[in-house]
Amino acid sequence: MTTIFTKGAVSIVPITITGFSSSRQSGNTIHRIIGASVPDVTMDYAGLRTGTLELVFDDLTKALAAENMFGNIGTVIMSDSDLPQLNMTFVTNGAIAVELHEDRMHWLVRVDYQEVLVA
């Protein structure tokens, strides 16, 4: 499996992705009506995915390059050769963290994201 993250002319290829979480917020609005047992509902589509990615790199230089890319302004394109259902265009939305893995040979980069375009 190869996953590539691209922003403009910069591409990052982690060793692997060890974490992928995704959730979508419902677009429905429930209106409670005084004196009625059944609410009024305004229906709408669910929003795009939001969550956290955890990427593994084999050295600090690559991990910091990823941190820098995610920290810059603009959208990121995620392309996965084995799981194209995960492909998306997103922006960072929250924390960007770099951490030394417990094996002391790999670096983890965690990034909170908000999908902005369905691939």
Give per-residue pLDDT as tens, 54-93.
999 999 999 999 999 999 999 999 999 999 999 999 999 9
pTM reported for the whole predicted model: 0.87
Query: What number of other Cβ atoms are within 10 A of residue 19's Cβ?
Result: 13
C-alpha to C-alpha distance for 59 and 48, rounded to whole angstroms: 32
Contacts of 34 (CB under 8 A, 6+ apart): none
- With cut-offs at 50, 70 and 90, classify the pLDDT of residue 118: confident
